Amino acid sequence: VFFSGSLRRRMAGAFLALALLESLVFGVLAWGAYHALSVYLVRWHLEPVLELVAEVDRDGDEAAAAVLAQLADDMDIKIYRDGAGPTKYIPAPERGKPRLTRLESERYALSWRSKQGREYVLVGKIDDFDDLEEVLLQAFLLCAAGGLLAAVVFGLTLGRRISGPLLTLARRIRDGENPGDTPELLDRRDEVGLLTRAFAEREGELRAFLVREQLFTGDVSHELRTPLTVLRGGLEILEAGRSMESGPDASILARMTRTVDSMSETVNTLLLLARRPEQLERGPLDMTALVCAHANAMEQAFARRG
DSSP per-residue string spanning 240-295? HH---SSSHHHHHHHHHHHHHHHHHHHHHHHHHHTS-GGGS------HHHHHHHHH
The percent of residues above 70 in pLDDT, for the chain, comes to: 83
Predicted confidence (pLDDT) at residue 89 exceeds the cutoff of 60: no
Of 9, 72, 13, 7, give the one whose Cα is nearest residue 46: 72
Of residues 96 and 87, more confidence is placed in: 96
At 204-213, the pLDDT tens digits run: 888 888 787 7
Predicted confidence (pLDDT) at residue 304 exceeds the cutoff of 60: yes
pLDDT of residue 139: 80
Q: What are phi and psi of 125, to 5 degrees?
A: -115, 120
Predicted confidence (pLDDT) at residue 245 exceeds the cutoff of 60: no
Predicted confidence (pLDDT) at residue 12 exceeds the cutoff of 50: yes
Average pLDDT, stretch 188-196? 78
Cα 283 to Cα 262, 272, 275, 289, distances in angstroms: 21, 14, 17, 15
Q: Is 276 exposed, middle or buried (0-12, 13-18, 19+ CB in 10 A)?
A: exposed
Predicted confidence (pLDDT) at residue 184 exceeds the cutoff of 70: yes
* Termini Cα distance of the chain: 71
At 97-143, the pLDDT tens digits run: 787 877 766 678 878 887 777 788 888 776 666 666 777 778 878 88
pLDDT of residue 1: 46
114 contacts 71 by C-beta, under 8 angstroms: no
pLDDT of residue 87: 59
β 99-102/119-125 pair status: unpaired
Average pLDDT, stretch 290-305? 88
At 159-182, the pLDDT tens digits run: 777 777 777 777 777 777 777 777
pLDDT of residue 85: 65
Q: What is the DSSP letter of 180?
A: G
